[in-house]
């Protein structure tokens, strides 16, 4: 598989998908923070507090067991995908599972970028010997749920009222894809 993949989106702009490098950390955080008001889609608390700590996280990541992918175009980073070995690879019972999380800035949604990022991750996972991929998605995020369904993920469980955001309780859908 090509490590860097370039393609044109629906509006004709070129997007490049590639593994993240520490220097991307500021752009990744900016892209993630662009959705901070959309708390029903992403919890910002689980990401680096600043570019330095995010850069250290990327640098120290085991690239044989984890993928941190960025989508670059439109003048910067427009999306990121983290595919991390379950339980940090510490449990042999779950070492075959890759947990995936995806984020795109709002202006880059609906152009096919997310689908290409998920397909890249699936190909990478197969090449690295993973057997299963999983994602947990807020049920309020219909667009993301549809994207994963189109990629062949199926619903495995529903965690009712898993998150409280403000006064609202949000369900979480667990989706998975077997890779063999």
Q: In the chain, where are the structural domains located?
A: 5-131
Residue range 5-131, CATH number:
3.40.630.30
Mean pLDDT of 35-39: 53
Please state, in angstroms and rounded to a whole number, the distance separating the CA atoms of residues 19 and 74: 18
pLDDT value of residue 32: 84
pLDDT value of residue 62: 93
What average pLDDT does the chain have? Answer: 91
Buried b (16+ CB within 10 A) or exposed e, 20-47: bebebbbbbbebbebbeeebebbeeeeb
Pairing of strands 132-138, 97-104: parallel
pLDDT value of residue 49: 66
pLDDT value of residue 74: 81
Q: Which of 62, 63, 72 is nearest to 124 (CA)?
A: 63
Q: Which residues pair with 138 in a beta bridge?
A: 172
- Element containing residue 115 per DSSP (H, E): helix 113-127
Read off the pLDDT of residues 117-157 as tens digits, 9 standing for 90 and up: 999 999 999 999 999 999 999 999 999 999 999 999 999 99
Read off the pLDDT of residues 57-79 as tens digits, 9 standing for 90 and up: 999 999 999 999 999 998 899 99
Please state, in angstroms and rounded to a whole number, the distance separating the CA atoms of residues 153 and 132: 10
Read off the pLDDT of residues 38-52 as tens digits, 9 standing for 90 and up: 544 454 445 556 888
CB 179 within 8 A of CB 133: yes
Mean pLDDT of 80-104: 95
Please state, in angstroms and rounded to a whole number, the distance separating the CA atoms of residues 130 and 119: 14
Q: What is residue 55's three-state secondary structure?
A: helix
What pTM does this model have? 0.91
pLDDT value of residue 171: 95
Q: Which of 44, 21, 156, 63 is nearest to 101 (CA)?
A: 44
pLDDT value of residue 35: 63
Mean pLDDT of 171-179: 97
């Amino acid at each position: 598989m090509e490590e860097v993949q370039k393609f044109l989106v629906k509006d004709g702009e070129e997007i490049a998908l590639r593994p993240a490098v520490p220097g991307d950390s500021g752009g990744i955080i900016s892209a993630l923070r662009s959705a901070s008001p959309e708390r029903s889609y992403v919890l910002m608390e689980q990401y680096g507090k600043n570019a330095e700590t995010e850069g250290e996280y990327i640098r120290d990541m085991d690239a044989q067991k984890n993928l941190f992918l960025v989508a670059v175009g439109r003048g910067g980073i427009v999306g990121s995908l983290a595919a991390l070995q379950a339980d940090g690879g510490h449990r042999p019972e779950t070492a075959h599972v890759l947990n995936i999380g995806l984020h795109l800035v709002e202006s880059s949604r609906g152009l096919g970028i997310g689908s290409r990022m998920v397909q890249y991750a699936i190909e990478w996972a197969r090449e690295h010997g993973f057997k299963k991929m999983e994602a947990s998605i807020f049920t309020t995020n219909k667009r993301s749920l549809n994207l994963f369904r189109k990629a062949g993920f199926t619903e495995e469980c529903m965690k009712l009222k898993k998150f409280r955001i403000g006064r609202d309780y949000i369900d979480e859908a667990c989706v998975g894809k077997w890779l063999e």
